[in-house]
Amino acid sequence: MLAAPVDPHAGLPADGDAWAFEVKWDGMRVLADVHEGRLRLTSRLGNDVTAAWPELAGLAGLHPDVLLDGEVVVLRRGVPSFWALAERMHVREARRAAALAAASPATFVAFDVLRLDGTDLTKRSWTQRREALEGLDGAAAGLRGWQLSPVYDDGQVLLAATLEQGLEGVVAKRRASRYAPGARNGDWLKLPHRRVQTCVVGGWRTETDDARRLGALLLGVWDLEPPGGGEPVLRFVGRVGSGLATADQGDLLALLAPHAQETSPFGPSEVPRVDATGTRWLDPQVVIDVRHIGHSENGRIRQPVFLGVRDDVDPATVTAG
């Protein structure tokens, strides 16, 4: 189940009796499936990512049969850091995963329970599922590697507190809502403080003084209903260079290289000449997050900063919304 964006001018729902409020965690969405003493962690795309997070193996002792929804987060100075998370998301080799786990341990923040003792809980209300989740917390006191996402009644107070503490934002959940897998139906709402845009990479350029290093990535989002109809069109929304210097250039280039192609993936007349010159085009299969300060009148992202690769997001679903 996914959270729909809130109009910043409208703000969060005010009725605390009908809505519950949680911190919006800057992490990787994961389902944690525990059955007969075995743990399987699955990304939003259905990929098995258990090997990337060896420090969460203790979740296998949480309960004999349970399916949790939550986020894996890596903390820096008490605040979730997507930078720290990004370097671990793609690791599957056991020795490297163990070394990264020791250096940057992750926590699974659980915010929903979808199955318990073989019973499907998705048709029950959020309130009933939360009660079941809190029952697990009591049964697993002292278990390392996980925590419950706290719940609050006053969204405005939480919004101010998360802003002060440098957290990503707030999620509002309708207390009576059922769990609809994969749906974004308005029963869950999100209001982030920071503007973070998920984009696909349609091309890349080298640095002007070093042809061996990435200088910029060309960014796009899918327009699923272009004017006049027809097939979806990849809209050019700018290029990002800031933040690439501190990224793992070797890993990033290795991720991009298999998707090279001769022609631009963007819609007709989408990429200005100044951006297209010197660009190596890509099939838009690599997804990244960038932080920015807004959009210009022509739809370009203003002052984007590269945050990290998102291999938990289907590139075909990356739109402006």
- As a whole number of angstroms, the distance between CA 78 and CA 100 comes to 18
Q: Report the CATH architecture of 26-148.
A: 2-Layer Sandwich (3.30)
Active-site annotation holds for 24:
yes
In the chain, CATH 2.40.50.140 covers 195-317
Mean pLDDT of 247-257: 86
pLDDT tens digits along 44-101: 888 899 999 999 998 998 899 999 999 999 988 778 877 678 778 878 899 999 999 9
Query: What is the per-residue pLDDT for 209?
Result: 60
Query: What is the per-residue pLDDT for 180?
Result: 95
Considering only residues 269 and 261, tell me which one the structure prediction assigns the higher pLDDT.
261
Q: Report the CATH architecture of 195-317.
A: Beta Barrel (2.40)
Beta bridge partners of 206: 214
In the chain, CATH 3.30.470.30 covers 26-148
pLDDT tens digits along 17-39: 899 999 999 889 999 999 988 99
In the chain, CATH 3.30.1490.70 covers 1-18+154-193
Q: What does residue 191 show for φ and ψ, rounded to 5 degrees? A: -135, 95
Range list of β-strands (E), the chain: 4-5, 19-24, 28-35, 38-43, 65-76, 79-80, 106-116, 119-120, 146-148, 169-174, 188-192, 195-207, 210-223, 233-240, 280-281, 287-292, 305-309
Query: What is the per-residue pLDDT for 190?
Result: 92
Query: What is the per-residue pLDDT for 89?
Result: 81
Per cent of the chain over pLDDT 90 is: 54
Quick check: 134 pLDDT over 60? Answer: yes
Domain covering 1-18+154-193, topology: Dna Ligase; domain 1 (3.30.1490)
Mean pLDDT of 270-298: 87
Query: What is the per-residue pLDDT for 101?
Result: 92
Residue 210 vs residues 205, 207, 214, 215: alpha-carbon distances, Å: 11, 5, 8, 9
Query: Which of 24, 123, 173, 190 is flagged as catalytic?
Result: 24
Quick check: 139 pLDDT over 60? Answer: no
Considering only residues 45 and 157, tell me which one the structure prediction assigns the higher pLDDT.
157
**Of 197, 316, 218, the residue nearest 276 (C-alpha):** 218
User: What are 73's two structure tokens?
Assistant: 């987060």
